[in-house]
Each structure stands twice: as C-alpha cells, then as structure tokens.
Amino acid sequence: MHKRGIIIAGMILGSLAVCWIQLHRAQATTPTAPATLDAGVPYAVAIEKGAAMFDLEIGNGDRYLLIIGSLAASDVEFPLSLNAHPIAAVTKQPIKRIAPLAVRPITTPVASLPLTDRTPSQDTRASRDFSIHVTDGALDDPRSYHKVRARLIAEGRHVRVYLDGDQTEGELYPDIAAKVIRLFDDEVYPTSLQHCGDYCDVDGDGKFAILLSHWLGKLQGGETSVGGFVRGSDFHKTIAPPFGNQADVLYLNSNVAAGPRLKTLLAHEYTHAVLFSARRRLADSISYNTDEEDWLNEAIAHVAENMHSSDWSNLDHRIDAFLQNPAACPLVVADYYRAGRWRDHGCRGATYLFLRWCTDTYGDELIRRLIHSPQRGRINFQQATGQSFEELFRHWTIALAGSPVDDISTAIQPPGGLQYLPLYGRIGEYDLQGIARDQWNINDAAPPLSLNGTASRFVEFSAADSPGAFRLCVSSQSSAQLQITLIKLPSDAPDQNGRQPHLAAR
C-alpha cells in the first residue's frame, strides 16, 4: 500500500475508535431532554475532542443534512468518520438552534490614505524594461526571470500600452491597444475609483502601464498560459528588478481579443493593482506586513468583476469546480503559489462565493473596507464585519446548502442565500446544480470520507425504510477543528439522489 494510503487508513481507524468510545461512554451519561428540530432550521452540534455525537428520532421519509466544516489550516487533509446505530430512545442532543447574524450593513466609507499627486508626464517613455517570472523556478531566483524590452504603442488619459519588443503590432488582434485604452479610461478606471480606490503612481510617470507580451502564454517553462496578471512586488520602490519592476503595471497576454472577456480581464487585474497600491501606501506608514493573503486578494478581484458588470468567463468554470467537490477546495490559502494551488479553480470558486455572500450580506462598501484595511485574511473580515470568521464560515456554508425549492438560509437570516448569484441555473457556459451532497443511508456503513482545512462537506442522510431512534457520531482528528451544522430537510425539499453531474458546455 502507498505510504500516504497507510497514513490515511490509520487516521480513519483512529477516528472510528474515537466514535466507538464516545458512543459507549454516552450511554452512561446523564440523559438530556431531546430537542424538537424544526424543518429547514440549522442547528449547531457540539464538538468534543474531535467528535460530535447526538441522537435523532428518524421517521419514515425523514431526511437530514449535515454540513461538516473544518476551521483548520488549509494545507492538511483530514479523515472523516460517520457512524450510526439504533438505540432504545433519544436521550442525547447537544445541539443549539443557530441565531441570526447581527448584521449591520456597512454604509460609512472607509478613510483611505491620500493618493500620490500625479499629473500627466511629458516623458512618454517610448521604451521600458519589464522583468517577468517565466519558469517554474523559485521566485527569489533571478534566473527564473526574463527581461522584456517593450515599446510604447498607444496612450490614453490614464494609461499607456506597451508591446513586447519581440513582437510586432501586426501579430495582435486588430486595434486591440485602442480597445484596451477605451475600456480602461471610460469604464474600468472610473468604476474602480468609485468602488475600490486608485492606484499609486510608483514610477511617477503620471499614468498606469499595461504590457502586452507573448510570455503570458508560456509561463512556468511553457506549461501555463494566463490571460493577465499583476505582481505585488512591482508596487514597492524598494524591490529592484528582476524581483520587482518599481512600476504600476498590468500584464496582458498578447493574444487577447476584443470582447466581453477583455473587460473582465482588465477589471479583475486592475483591482489587484488597486489593492497592492493601497497596501503599499499602508506599509509606508506602519512597520508590519500589510500584504493581503492570496485567497482574499483573489476574492476581492473576482467580486469586483461583478461591480464592473463583467461577463462570467473568468468565474463560471471556477464556481462549477467548487460546487462539484467543496470538500477538496479550501477557502483560506495564504499563498497559492507555495501551496501548489496557483491555478486551482475550485479554491478560486470558493473564495469568490464566500466574499460574494459577505458582500450580499454587508453591502458593497465591504470591498473598499477590506482593500484599505491594515489587517489581513481572517482578521480583516472580522474587523470589517464585526463577526468572527467562524460564524461567517458557518453561515456561508448554510447559504450554500439552499436549493430552488427550499432556501434553508432564509430560516436564520433574511434575505439569506447568495442574492447576486443563484447556485442553480445557467451561469456563463455552465449549468450549475447547487452544492454536491454525499448520500448516506445510516443503516449502512458510511464510505471513508475526507475534508481539507477551511473546506466543507455536505452529507444528506436518512434511515431509508427502517425508521427509529439512532445515535450518530461524526469524528476526525481534534486538529481538524470541526464545525458541524444539522438541518432537518423540509418534506418538500428536492431529493438529491438523482442529482446529475455538473454539465460543462465547453
């Protein structure tokens, strides 16, 4: 057996042992009065030493949903064990009805640091050098970078467009530079200024820079192609080439074509530039690291796409990947590149949906507040919303569990759910069918399951044709920091057993 398989198998056996001990110890404990579970209402289940144990009276046709989340580090995969056995009567229900979030919509604009004064430069800088990380080597190895000698090919009110010196304008989509300038000057820049903030003029030339280069089609030694990117290191005056270009610059793949996707790319990547600018200005005034964690950086840029009324070409496949396998898609990943998740679509789908739900709940001003905060990651969310990350995570997973017939989330927080984006129906080129659920007949042994840190698993269970009282146990390692929500599904909730796989149109 593979070494990793032996380790996982050992972990599962350990979890089974915990469940067995907990189940039999509980029979000697003082019974607690059984609670009445209202259909469609979420309940928090108490966790003790990595395990949750509770009793249920399950009638014929009754169905329940377990939302099992982990609040641990995202780089760990934890085994999950589910067990159930019949009992004489319900005596133990360590559950508590979940109270609505005390939501106070964010309406007061956040105070941001003053922008650098800038006026259009008379120096058009006809040629410039930009270093790009093109291999799969270390970020701190200068041999991983290629220096591009670029030349200016077009200029607008707020932006200059440069082209890789190895290429000619005849290789580009017709009039692409003019189209980039129109979109940036007339749509992307003013919308970002309203909702997110402005860029800092790192190089003092009075305008933002966009570089078109073929290198974006062959990154990581030719293994990866991207439409565009922005590097945080470029916005620091103290980071010299090749590790930083000391310039406010956005990189676009030179094969980019005109159309809705172009605006989406510009909106997404320019939002990164605004965030990096805000954090660079903060770093100049305080002594600790203010760089935002990757997962929240990407979440902000993705939600900004919605603010720009962009298309779904940068999101549909990522949302779909997350919905198909949420347990394998951690939310909180501080450094995507070092975690090997730089191009993990499911993780990006998770972070978008989390911030999308938070923005639906607290208002669009949340985005600006997150951008201009000196805090990072989970703490940034907690400070901006006044809620713990744990509660935000739980309420988000409940919102994900809603269906077209039964919106579970409305039971705890009106209006509930994801208002901007229904998780059923056509989005872009994908037919979404809601969050994937595992099926479990508790009269049978549950299959071995696992769960990444800051990910969630949705398990729908019933007693099939053998109703009665049951004692259930859900367990993992204590370090998994489990968070468990129990919901009795309404009788008219759709049966997920016939759920079709997600359909990709492309």
Q: Say which DSSP state 224 is in.
A: B
Give the Cα separation of 228 and 251 in Å (integer): 5
Structural domain count, the chain? 2
Give the Cα separation of 262 and 183 in Å (integer): 9
Give the Cα separation of 400 and 67 in Å (integer): 10
68 and 187 both lie in a single domain: no
SS3 category, 97: strand
Q: Say which DSSP state 351 is in.
A: H
Sequence letter at residue 36: T
77 and 161 both lie in a single domain: no
Last-in-domain residue among 288, 316, 333? 288
147 and 56 both lie in a single domain: no
90 and 128 both lie in a single domain: no
Nearest alpha carbon to residue 463 among 101, 26, 59, 182: 59
174 and 256 both lie in a single domain: yes
164 and 228 both lie in a single domain: yes
Give the Cα separation of 374 and 337 in Å (integer): 23
Parallel, antiparallel or unpaired: strands 249-253 and 208-213:
parallel
Nearest alpha carbon to residue 480 among 68, 4, 43, 193: 68
9 and 52 both lie in a single domain: yes
12: left (phi > 0), else alpha (psi -120 to 50), else beta? alpha
Last-in-domain residue among 227, 253, 288? 288
390 domain residue, yes or no:
no
19 close to 473: Cβ distance less than 8 angstroms: yes
The pLDDT, as a whole number, for residue 121 is 58
> CB neighbours of 388 closer than 8 A, spacing ≥ 6?
382
The pLDDT, as a whole number, for residue 13 is 43
63 and 182 both lie in a single domain: no
Tokens of 56: 């249920």
SS3 category, 482: strand
> CB neighbours of 471 closer than 8 A, spacing ≥ 6?
23, 26, 53, 54, 55, 84, 85, 87, 92
Strand pairing partners for 68?
457, 484
Dihedral over Cα of 138, 139, 143, 147: its sign: positive
Nearest alpha carbon to residue 504 among 419, 445, 452, 426: 426
136 and 243 both lie in a single domain: yes
What does each of the 506 residues of the chain score in pLDDT, given as a tens digit? 444 444 444 444 444 444 544 444 443 333 344 567 899 899 999 999 999 999 999 999 999 999 999 999 999 999 999 999 999 999 999 999 998 888 888 887 666 555 555 666 555 678 999 999 999 899 999 999 999 999 999 999 999 999 999 999 999 999 999 999 999 999 999 999 999 999 999 999 999 999 999 999 999 999 899 999 999 999 999 999 999 999 999 999 999 999 999 999 999 999 999 999 999 988 877 767 789 999 999 999 999 999 999 999 999 999 999 999 999 999 999 999 889 998 899 999 999 999 999 999 999 999 999 999 999 999 999 999 999 999 999 999 999 998 665 556 555 555 566 788 889 999 999 999 999 999 999 999 998 999 999 999 999 999 988 999 999 999 999 999 999 999 999 876 555 544 433 322 22
227 close to 233: Cβ distance less than 8 angstroms: no
129 close to 148: Cβ distance less than 8 angstroms: yes
126 and 25 both lie in a single domain: no
127 and 254 both lie in a single domain: yes
132 and 275 both lie in a single domain: yes
Q: Burial code of 370-384, b = ≥16 C-beta within 10 A, e = fewer? A: bbbbbebbbebbbeb
CA 276, chain centre distance (Å): 19
74 close to 332: Cβ distance less than 8 angstroms: yes
Give the Cα separation of 213 and 162 in Å (integer): 9
441 close to 60: Cβ distance less than 8 angstroms: no
Structural domain harbouring 240: 115-288
The pLDDT, as a whole number, for residue 323 is 98
Tokens of 365: 């001003």
Last-in-domain residue among 288, 305, 325? 288
Q: What is the pLDDT of residues 447-501, one digit of tens each?
A: 899 999 999 999 999 998 899 999 999 999 999 999 999 999 987 655 554 443 3
Give the Cα separation of 459 and 84 in Å (integer): 14
CATH number at residue 249: 3.30.2010.30
Strand pairing partners for 44?
96, 485
